[in-house]
Every structure is written in structure tokens, then in C-alpha cells.
Amino acid sequence: MQKSAVLSVALSVCASVAAQAGQLGSPVDLQFIAGYDGTVQRYVQMLPTGFDPTDSHDVLIALHGHGSDRWQYATNTRDECRGARDVAGNHNMIFISPDYRASTSWMGPAAEADVVQLIGLLKSQHNVRNVILCGASMGGASSLIFTALHPDLVDGVCSSNGTANMMEYNNPSFTSAIAASYGGTKAQVPEQYTMRSPELFPGQFTMPVAFTVGGNDTVVPPDSVRRLAAELQTLGLSDVLMIDRPTGGHSTSYADTVAGLEFVMNAVPEPATMGLLGLGLAALIARKPRSR
């Protein structure tokens, strides 16, 4: 299906998604002991109403912005957060909002290790089908960083108003927090900034990807994400959607949030049934596109 057609379909379902919202249960505050350093790390989980643990479910992991924590995506009414919850509810997804070393994460080594551990924990507790990442601002950058570092753990990603190049990103409001998270400045640990610059590793993005950016965003300028999206479209490795609002700022509307996530959900493959074998072996499960 042409990307423009997919976008039209995604936009048309926004009203339907909003109408069907409220399909997630109440947020539950949970914790685990981080293998990285033994600290207590917290995350919020919201299960779909009528949750049946014997059924398989997709998981949406929503990564908060700078200065926030796990509760931002779980309870905040801003468009990016509300849209993510509504899409998760509409698709009967398990909704997860982690601290990932709140409040100034930027997907540094500790946050990265926590998300890897959390995905493993979720897969041990639930019958997980696909893992989708989303986030806005720092969360948008972090979702791309984690996906580039661990493409084997991510089945789709939607990034809003993030950066795709931490070597290039230079907002003085955040440089000290980023340095603390990465273990030093760009001059001190350049390898950390390089490996956390997804634009430099486009070949890692073989899963469906959606981006939203604003042309007037001065907090996290859109240029690196525009370049990454263009490169992914050139490579043809994955389904890619770019929602670029030339007059937009550092925010994404409800409609665009839903459109991006619905694009990813429609493009993520579903496991094909292998009932003839009856083995239940992950290595023998074929993949097929979702019906659109």
C-alpha cells in the first residue's frame, strides 16, 4: 500500500480510536531490581480491560520526556500521551511506561540496560507478541536510540519530536544531563554519543518506523530525523512514515500521534499460525503482514 494511502487511512481512524478509548485498566506502579547496578527501578503497567493472560498481546512501551518520569505517559492529558494510551487500548495492548532512569535519561547505558531487562521481564510474565516503542522529545530520541542499539528487541517504533543524532545535538539546556547519563561529554566519551546517534546506523531499522517533526522546533530541531527518514526510504528496508509539519513546534498533535502509531501497528507483522506443526517453537514461526 502506498504510504500516502496508509496515512489517509491512519488519519481516518483517529475519531474511531478516540471513540473506543478507555480500554486500558488503571495504572499499576511496579518495580524491578536493575541488573545494571542493583537499584530499584519503577515502571507503570496498564493492562487492557478484560485481559486474558492466555492470549497473546502486543506491548507498547512509552518513553517519557526530559524532566518527567513514568507517570507522564500513564496519566498526562497532553496529546502525545493521550494518543499513545488510546491506540494501546484500541489494540488491546499491554501499555508500559518506565522511568528508564528518570528524569534525565537520554537512553544512556543504565537506561538502555533497564529497558532490555524490562522487555525480558515482560516476556517472562506475559504472552508477548510484538514490542513497539514510542516517545516524544527525549522519549522520541530514546526510542530511536534503543531501536538502533537493539533492533532484535523492537518490532516497531514511533518517534515524535526527537533527534536522531546525539553527536550533532547541542541544546545547552540539556548538555549537562546528557553528559551525566552518558558518562562524560562528547570530547570525553565520543563513542557513547556516536553509538547513540541512530542516523549513523540506518541499516538497523528493518522494522516499521513512524516519525513526527515540527519545522519550527528549536528545542529538538528536526533535521537529523528528516535525514534518517529519507535514508530509510532510499534503502527500502522498512515501512516508513514521516509526518512533517513545517510550521509545527516542539509538540505533536493527537491526530498525528495516532496516525503514526496506527501506521506502525498496521505494518508490524503478525505471527502466522503453525498449527500443523504444533511445536510452538519461535524459530519455526513464520511472519506475515497484518491485514490493512
pLDDT tens for each residue of 255-286 = 999 999 999 999 998 754 333 333 333 333 33
The chain-wide mean pLDDT, for the chain, equals: 89
Over residues 216-244, the mean pLDDT reads 97
pTM, two decimals, is 0.87
Domain interval for residue 175: 3-288
- Over residues 187-225, the pLDDT tens digits come to 999 999 999 999 999 999 999 999 999 999 999 999 999
Q: 65-80 in b/e burial notation, b at 16+ Cβ within 10 A?
A: bbebbbbbbbebeebb
Inform me whether the pLDDT recorded for 144 exceeds 90. yes
Percent of the chain with pLDDT over 90: 83
Residue 66, domain CATH = 3.40.50.1820
Over residues 115-143, the mean pLDDT reads 98
Question: What is the pLDDT confidence band of residue 237, given thresholds at 50, 70 and 90?
Answer: confident
Question: What is the pLDDT confidence band of residue 3, given thresholds at 50, 70 and 90?
Answer: very low
- Grid cell for residue 131: 514490542
- Over residues 92-125, the pLDDT tens digits come to 999 999 999 999 999 999 999 999 999 999 999 9
Inform me whether the pLDDT recorded for 76 exceeds 50. yes
138-149 and 109-125 helices cross at what angle (nearest 10)?
70
- Over residues 9-59, the pLDDT tens digits come to 445 545 444 444 449 999 999 999 999 999 999 999 999 999 999 999 999
* pLDDT for position 9: 45
Give the total number of structural domains in the chain: 1
